[in-house]
Every structure is written in C-alpha cells, then in structure tokens.
Chain A
Amino acid sequence: MKGLPPVLITAIVLVAGFAACALQFPNIASTRVVGNLLTDNAFLGIVATGMTFVIISGGIDLSVGSVIGFTTVFVALAIERWGMPPLVAFVAILVLSAAFGAAMGAIIHVFDLPPFIVTLAGMFLARGASFLLSTESVPITAPVYSTVSDFALHMPGGGRLTAIAIIMLVIVIGGILLLRLTRFGANVYALGGGRATASLMGVAVGKMTVKIYMLSSLLAGIAGIVFSFYTSAGYSLSAVGVELDSIAAVVIGGTLLTGGQGSVIGTFLGVLIQGMIQTYINFDGTLSSWWTKIATGILLFAFIALQQGLVALARRPVSNRAGAAP
C-alpha cells in the first residue's frame, strides 16, 4: 500500500519537466495552457483511471480504445439519426459498455483465460462493431453539445476549466477515494497480490474480476462521451491506440504492471506528463507530433527500469525490522 516513492518520482519528473518547459517558453506557465492541457487529456485521464484498477488487480484491458470509438459512433448516431434524447443515449451507452466489461471479466474468471487475450478479442469486437454502425464521421449538432462545450469555470489568468476537464477531475478524485478507502479498493490490491491467496482469504475473486472490468469499460464509455463532446462528432476510427497511451500513463505513474501496487494519483500525474510533452511540442512548432510518442517511450523505459530496481530491493525482507515483545 506504500505507493509513495514511485509516485513521488513521477511528481518530480512532472514538476521538473514543467519547469524546464516554462524556462524555454514562459507562456506555458499559465492557467490557460494548464486548462487546455486538462481539457485535451480529459478522456485519457478518465480511461487511465479505470486502467489503474485493472492493472493493480493484475490484469490488463486492451479494449478501452475501441470502446471509446464505439461510444462516439453510437452516441452520434443515436442523437442524430435515431432521434434519441442525448441523456437517454448516454445512459444506454453506459449500460452497454458496463455490460461489455462485465462480460469480459466473467469470461476471464470462468474460463481462467489471460486478460490480455480476452480484452484483445474485446478490442477487435468493439472496433468492428463501430465500423458496422458507420464508417464515416458523424457530426453531432445537438444543442446540449454546444452548451457543454461553452461551459467553463474561469480561472485567474484567463484559463478555462471546461466541463469535460471537470468531469475528468471528479472521476480521478472518485477513483482515488474508491481505491484508497473502500473494501473494494483493498480487494483490488489483494487480487494483484495473488488471486489464489486472495480467494483463500475470503475475497470473492470472481465477483471482483467482473466488477473491475466493468468499471474499466464503464469509464471507457464515459471517456467516449467526453471524447464526443471534445470533437463534436462520432467516428469509428477515433481513439485508436488510446489503450496503450493509458497503459503508459499508468506505468509512468508508478503502478506495477505485475499488479499489487500503484495509485490513481500516480496515473493522473502520468497523464499530465504525456500532456505536457504534447504541449511542449505544440509550442516548439518545428517538431513533429511523433516526438510525443518517442518521449513517452523513453520515459516508459526509464520507469520500468526504475520499478524493476525497486522490486528487486523489496524482495529482500527486512528481517530484523521488528522484534517480539517478551
């Protein structure tokens, strides 16, 4: 439960990186840029929060990018073509994606299959289904969309905290509380420590697995709705590769890929680091946007190496840490 040292390192990387960016481009250090950064990465922050739960429990969810894509297409068609009120469309897609995640979790548990394979299948399925609905980008013109897009809290210095950024922050905070304070959260860590042992200790492993993947898919659905607000359209090719971006954010945030340790706050910092790199490249103007990926790759390597080092240290138990009272 001591997720602190890796998170601290992530925080230091973020602050140092931001300071370096601000030195080169003083304009970066403004609430305007920070507000945009939060808005641009709102969907990633939401989906990475769900991914954190999955990875701490010892699993992985490759389907989230496709679920986002499917959600945008579904929402766009439901509102524009099928004439559904937006709220009804949102509820429908959230129920649908939660059920999708629950089904993946159930398959993983019942047939004892590797999550990698099951969610890979889910990834193809969801992406294929969104092509089935529409291969073209469907613009959304419903009034609620412009209302939400126009809404923002004004921060000092001219920055705007948009509705979708607020949604993301609320979900991140909710995720932190859920993981830290509840029995559900403790069980997520327990599963990551060892499924067989957790089961012996009384954790309902099957139920937990279903709930964890349900949570991940549900958050992917919310991320999809947020993405549709962000782009005002539904497109079956949107959010390709987002599952990998979110895994990267989780790992950079100090969560062990093998499960058992990690934190949502770390993931949030990981998302901000990726956003910061993107922002820097935008400011520079001469660099290709692929440099984001390269920088992320380098950071990932560094963090994985760091984790291996920390894990190796942790393997040596401190035997004389405590003695027995007489």
Chain B
Amino acid sequence: MENSLDPAPPLLEVRGISKSFGAVRALQEVDFTVRAGEIHALLGENGAGKSTLIKVVTGVFPRDAGVVRLGGEEVAPRSAKAAVQAGIATVYQEVNLLPNLSVAQNLFLDRQPMRFGVVREGEMRRRAKALLTEFGLDIDVAASLGDYSVAIQHVTAIARAVDLSARVLILDEPTASLDRHEVEILFRIMRQLAKRGIGIVFVSHFLDQVYEISDRITVLRNGRLVGEREIASLPRLELIQMMLGRELAETTNARAAAGEHKVREVCARFDNYGKAGYVAPFNLELRHGEVVGLAGLLGSGRTETARLVFGAERADGGQARVEGVPVRLQSPRDGVRHGFGYCPEERKTDGIVAELTVRENIVLALQAKRGLHRPLSRREQDEIARRYVKMLDIRPPDPERPVGLLSGGNQQKVLLARWLATSPRLLVLDEPTRGIDVGAHAEIIRLIRELCDDGLALLVISSELDEIVTYSDRVVVLRDRAHVEELSGEAIDVTNILAAIAADGAAMQEARA
C-alpha cells in the first residue's frame, strides 16, 4: 500500500493524548497515526479507550494533554461540528441522521442550494442523486430516510461526511447491524474512498472483517497504546494477545485437576438454538453442578447467547429443553418460570435498583415470581434478607441500607442473592467480576464454585480468561456471533482458548460450506 522508502506524510497524527475522568485515566500518552489512503483498524477490548480516543480527537471531550495534527497542521476542535469543518468526520453505529427528513435534506441540511432565500428543492435532489450514485445507491432521495434500511442510512451518513470534504473518516462499528451483503457494499465504498486519498479509521469487533479490509492495525489496552502493526505481518494469535494482554501464563483448570469427571444430569439443553443476525444457531448443554464458561472477544456473541438462554431475547429457530422437557422461552418471565436466573453485565442499569434497600433488592425476583397477589410478609422478607446477607457475607451486614451505597462487589452479591432466593436451577452470570476489587473478585469466584457444588447449573461470561479457566468445567468459545469451539477437561487452558478465538474464521467458513 505504501512505499516505505518514501513515507507519505501522515494524514492524521495523534501524539501523547491523555484524558482522565475523575480518578480514572481513560487514555495515557496515546499515539495514533493514519496515513492518506489507508484503512486503519482501531482495536481493543472493553475499556481500552477506543471511544474515548475518537471522542477526544473529534472534540466531543476536551483532552488533558497531547496534540492532534491533520495534514501537518495542529487542530484542536472543540465540538464534533468543528471537527467536521476541520476535515475529521465520524459515522457512529447509531446513524446520526434525521429519519423524519428526506434523504436529500439529510445530505444537505444547513447547506442546501439556495436562490432568493428559497431552497432549490429540484437542484438539491439532483445533487443528492448524483452524490449517492457515486456510492452505488440508486434510491428515491425525496423519501424519508427512516423508510430505508440501516445499511442505506449508513451509506447516506458516509456520503454526507465525505461530501463535507472529510479527509479522515472514522467509522465506529459500522458493520454491527449489517448483513453480509450490506457489509460488502460498505467495504467496496471504503476501498473506493481510500483510493481517493481519504484516511479511514475502522473500529470493529469482527476480526474477520478487520483482516479483510484493513491495511494497518492499532491496538489499545487499558487506555494505553499497545502497538501499531501492518496487518500483513500480524498473525491473529498475536493480535489477540495484544488485545487481551496475555503473557500466556499457565493457569490450571481447577476442576480438571481435581479429577472430577462425573457424568452429571442435564439441566437445560439447547439444540440448534439461534436468532438470525444475533447469534448463529448453537448446541449447548448445561448440567447440574457444572460451570460452563463463555469466552470470546467483546461483541463475539457471549451476552447474546446468555440473553437467548434466559429468554430475554426470542430465538427464531431451534429447541430448548429443561430437564428433558421441550419449553418455549419467549420472555424473561418464561426464564424465571423455568427456574433460570440472569445477572446482567450492566449492574447499574439493568440489575440493581440503587434507591431500594438490600432487603428490597433481594426479594425483588422472588416476589415477581410469586405474583403480586401473594405478597411476601415483612417477616419473610427479613428472614430471606438476613439469610443471604450472612451466606454471601454482604457488607455492611445491614439489610436496610440502600444498595447504591454498597461497593461494586457487594452489589454483585446482592444481585446473586436476588436470584438465589428464587431457588433457581440455572444461573447465568454476565461478567460477574467486572469492576470489583481484587478481594471481592476472589470471593465471587469462590461463591461460583460453592453454588455449583450445591447442584446449580451455571453459565458464566467473562473477559478474564484466567478466571474462566479456573472455574469452568467446559468452555464454549465464540467468535463473530457464532459458537466455534467447546473445550472440556484438560483441554481448558488460556492457550487453547486464544487459539480458538484466533482461528481464521474465513478459512473455517469455507471448510464448513
């Protein structure tokens, strides 16, 4: 792509950018370079700082330190609008256009062709048509944008950004809601734009797509730059190690080491279960007294699998069985009715009710399961709350304290208690150790083990591979919204999980076809 003897001057240079939110250092001395005409993938797991970097560069957040140069000149946009004027445009996953306006108005909002103070509607439509034709779209530009598919809205957003004379185009997860055919259209447009000398930043969780389209990759982790590489000379395994920051330390699988290989009763079974555009159909068996870990990169379909299993999302194919009996899981209510529990990843928004007390939070699911006409008496509530506060060692041991005042680890325990109070047969834990301190971390893991020994079936999602290796009886590895590998027993170790994540998806797809 580029002549190394005569390096083209970089188009966008980001040097030594730092940004803190309170005590949290979201970005530390990050460098990032985009050359004219290249497609540059920006990668990193949750909390790596990708979004913060984009927002700092485009002026949405003010930066604490560092410089941004565009074409050799320093720029310091104070708003997204100023960034666009400077030549840096961003297209987000949720298209930032107005669905109630016509396609043409969206393309030319605030810069419509005018004559005598009147918008020249015909001229505007003609230009809109011509612009979209360049992008391979032949649509009625007078129709509302909201009438078109997400893919067309994306292309419209890109067309607008490019027409505003963008020199750097940042695409944040542009393919997340597109199907394969639409992704190809988008990629063709990206290549076309790169040829015109536009520098494209491509943020995506889909590694296959990254390898398909990118020239170069920059990886961030925990707010720091890990490295910048040419894609051609970067094996997948190495890329994933860069993203996850593993030195491949050998964590042993506690379960296998303990020699537990009993055949256990199946608690729930999912055959060919899936939903188009969400997770590819999978087979999954969850047994009593067993922990199944879901491993994979962010966006690989872990949470999606959990939501299907619980009934928070409806499957469009396949069969679920609970204790051998076919069941339909259409809503979380169904999940609860069949004895499932689900602790979601976003504790603060989807889980705890911060204003309610520990006691009220704990009895929430049990009360919901019983129905409103059979209220739990205050005595029963106190009794249940006391039992779980003691059992899970929730601190401070005060059932009447608002949950919002507890630490992250204790909030997690309250969530656990809520589901345990319903005596579930299957618990789904999504990132149970996220954002809690090291001590509480170990304690949650110990709890997971204990619960499991009591005969509960557990499905646990975690980004911490060491953690998954430690407590899982089996590990399901996901990549690009599909289950790609199942490891059990001695085969469970970080190296094997990484290898499964890194396996070349394209090659595997061909093999499957």
Contacts and interface: CB of A to CB of B under 8 A. Distances in A.
B117 to A, nearest CB: 6
B110 A202 contact: yes
Interface in A109-131: none
Interface in B76-96: 80-81, 84, 96
B138 A325 contact: yes
Interface string A123-156: 0000000000000000000000000000000000
Contact of A318 (B99, B111, B147, B150): B147
B105 interface: yes
Contacts, number: 99
A31 to B, nearest CB: 33
A260 to B, nearest CB: 4
Which one of A2, A187, A201, A322 has the highest number of Cβ atoms from chain B below 10 Å of its Cβ? A201
B115 to A, nearest CB: 10
Contacts of A261: 100
B133 A203 contact: no
A199 B100 contact: no
Contact of A322 (B109, B117, B137, B160): B137
A303 to B, nearest CB: 18
A203 B109 contact: yes
Given A182-B119, A203-B109, A322-B148, A193 B81 contact: no
Given A182-B117, A182-B118, A202-B111, A324 B144 contact: no
B119 A197 contact: no
A324 B134 CA distance: 11
Contacts of A288: none
A325 B105 contact: no
A200 B80 contact: yes
B148 A183 contact: no
Contact of A197 (B84, B97, B136, B146): B97
A309 interface: no
Contacts of A298: none
A64 to B, nearest CB: 25
Contacts of A193: 98-101
Contacts of B138: 322-325
Interface size class of A (residues with CB under 8 A): 20 to 34
Interface in A292-326: 314, 317-326
Given A319-B149, A325-B138, A181 B119 contact: yes
Contacts of A2: 143-144
Given A193-B99, A202-B81, A314-B146, A325 B119 contact: no
A192 interface: yes
B152 interface: yes
B359 to A, nearest CB: 36
A281 to B, nearest CB: 37
A203 B97 CA distance: 12
A189 B101 contact: yes
A182 B118 CA distance: 5
Given A197-B98, A201-B97, A318-B147, A187 B110 contact: yes
B506 interface: no
A199 B119 CA distance: 20
A322 B149 CA distance: 9
Contacts of A200: 80-81, 96
Interface string A153-166: 00000000000000
A199 B80 CA distance: 9
A241 interface: no
A200 B144 CA distance: 19
Given A182-B117, A201-B109, A202-B81, A322 B140 contact: yes
A200 B136 CA distance: 26
A190 B81 contact: no
B114 interface: yes
Nearest to B160: A201
Interface string A177-191: 000011100110110
B488 interface: no
Contacts of A197: 96-98
A203 B84 CA distance: 13
B185 interface: yes
Which one of A198, A323, A324 has the highest number of Cβ atoms from chain B below 10 Å of its Cβ? A324
A258 to B, nearest CB: 10
B110 A183 contact: yes
B165 interface: no
Interface string B286-313: 0000000000000000000000000000
Contact of B133 (A183, A194, A320, A325): A325
A314 B117 CA distance: 32
Contact of A201 (B96, B99, B112, B140): B96
A193 B118 CA distance: 21
B102 interface: yes
B105 A186 contact: yes
A200 B82 CA distance: 10
Contacts of B100: 1, 189, 192-193, 260-261
Contacts of B368: none
Contacts of A194: 98
B141 to A, nearest CB: 10
Contacts of B99: 193
Contacts of A183: 110, 112, 114, 119
B105 A201 contact: no
B188 to A, nearest CB: 9
Contacts of B111: 202
Nearest to A177: B118
Contacts of B110: 183, 187, 201-203
B214 to A, nearest CB: 23
B248 interface: no
A182 B112 CA distance: 9
A197 B117 CA distance: 24
Which one of B121, B133, B150, B152 has the highest number of Cβ atoms from chain A below 10 Å of its Cβ? B152
Interface in B233-254: none
B139 interface: yes
A319 B139 CA distance: 12
B136 A326 contact: yes
A181 B160 CA distance: 21
Given A1-B144, A181-B119, A317-B148, A325 B98 contact: no
Interface string A196-211: 0111111100000000
Interface in A1-25: 1-2
Given A192-B100, A321-B148, 11 more contacts: A181-B118, A183-B119, A186-B109, A189-B100, A190-B98, A193-B98, A194-B98, A201-B96, A317-B146, A321-B149, A322-B148
23 contacts: A1-B101, A186-B101, A186-B105, A186-B109, A186-B112, A186-B119, A187-B109, A189-B101, A189-B105, A192-B100, A193-B99, A193-B100, A198-B109, A201-B98, A201-B106, A202-B81, A202-B84, A261-B100, A317-B150, A318-B147, A320-B149, A321-B149, A324-B138
Interface of B: 80-81, 84, 96-102, 105-106, 109-112, 114, 117-119, 121, 133, 136-140, 142-144, 146-150, 152, 160, 185
- Nearest 8 pairs between A and B by C-beta? A193-B98, A260-B100, A322-B139, A319-B149, A193-B100, A202-B110, A325-B138, A181-B118
